Amino acid sequence: MIVNIAAYHFVRIDAPQALIDMLRPCAEAQQLRGTVLVAAEGINLFLAGAAAGIETFLALLRADARFESIAVKVSHSAHTPFARLKFKLKREIISFRRDHADPLQGRAPAVVPVDLARWIAQGHDDAGRRLVLLDTRNREEVRFGSFAGALTLPIDRFTDLPAVMAAQSSALADAAVVSYCTGGIRCEKAALWLRANGVPQALQLEGGILGYFEQVGGLGYQGHCFVFDERVALAPDLRPLVDADPVGADCG
């Protein structure tokens, strides 16, 4: 059984290439596959391999005080869903290119999965505000599944979100808007941007859809969650929609 992990952590990294040079030999020695993105703002990784190899890599990463608290989402598959191992030096670990969306300056408030499940069941947040679930993913990802009744956007990439949301901000000003994405990384920036641009009650779903699946299951969710590898998408019980040999997947 292959262990698959997804994790990200926003933290200032003064020498991103040095971090890559430290982590790559370990990942190679443990025969891991997947993609590790490193930028001055943090790290974003999707890796697969044997359980022992994954644990060895995470132990090395967490030995660095900057990543001691990194949250990791775990799932399993019968085959390795990545064709190769890639380390990439990037300007951002998730491209957004907007002001007022820097997680290094502070996070937007987050709602944990168990609380969101309760809000979904009751139809409002604990203050009685109407609940709007905002899907920050692109239209192809949404096609595989989303929260029932969510506000989905006609976007092809995350950088398109501000232009589309600009026309909707005033209608959402009185709502508890919970932005969500696959693993939480896009929510970090989207919620910050929304709060600075007319949606003062915007929150982020802690851990994204995958974190919700891990902790709550599929309550309120319809379909699967698209993932950026050869598993294609995961069901709420984290089983892969497709479990086949890789043909060159990239985490993008």
CA distance 69 to 113: 19
Torsion-angle region of 223 (φ positive above 0: left; ψ -120 to 50: alpha; else: beta): left
**123 vs 87, 117, 126, 127, 152, CA distance in Å?**
43, 10, 10, 11, 18
Number of H helices, E strands in the chain: 7, 13
The DSSP result for 151-203, as a single string, is B----SSGGGHHHHHTTTGGGGTTSEEEEE-SSSHHHHHHHHHHHTTT-TT-E
Cα within 13 Å of Cα(34), Cβ side: 28
Single out the catalytic residue among 26, 181, 187, 225.
181
Q: Is 26 a catalytic residue?
A: no
Active-site residues: which are they? Answer: 181
